[in-house]
Amino acid sequence: MTERPILICFDGSPEARRAIEVAGELLSHGSAVVVDITAPAMLEERESAYLDIGRDPVVVRLEDTRRTAHRGVVLARVAGFDAVDRIDVALPTWQGIVELADSLDASVIVVGSRGLSRTRELFEGSTSHQLALHAGRPVLIVPSSHG
């Protein structure tokens, strides 16, 4: 029987870094997949790729996403996990995370929480809240350290 990996959501924020640290303290150290999800290209980005002879902004964004995921892998390895990176394109973000967790049969999803007020959560959305509702598997939501 193969070990089910832990799926760690990482966007480079202080909350995501803290989530990795806490996961390292609470969960058994095994395999982990660190994911950063980016949104699909907007019409303006696609148009500018045709108009600008410089670098394609979509490619630049994907490269940034890959670098962010790799930074998360480094932190996860320091926390004791045998980690690899993964990037994906999805909107909403939580749905891409759930689909990846399903495809990996992840044992748990680890995510940091920004600690939004109810009003801000209503307007901005909460990835951690949506994961808790839709993941169908354990979700470790690590609250921000400031509140």
Residue 94 pairs in a beta bridge with none
6-142 fold: Rossmann fold (3.40.50)
Measured distance CA(142)–CA(34) in Å, rounded: 15
* 92 upstream amide cis, omega within 30 of 0: yes
Global confidence as pTM: 0.87
| pLDDT tens for each residue of 122-135 | 444 689 999 999 99
Domain ranges of the chain: 6-142
| pLDDT tens for each residue of 77-125 | 999 999 999 999 999 999 999 999 999 999 999 999 986 555 554 444 6
CA 34 to chain centre: 7
The one-character DSSP state at 135 is -
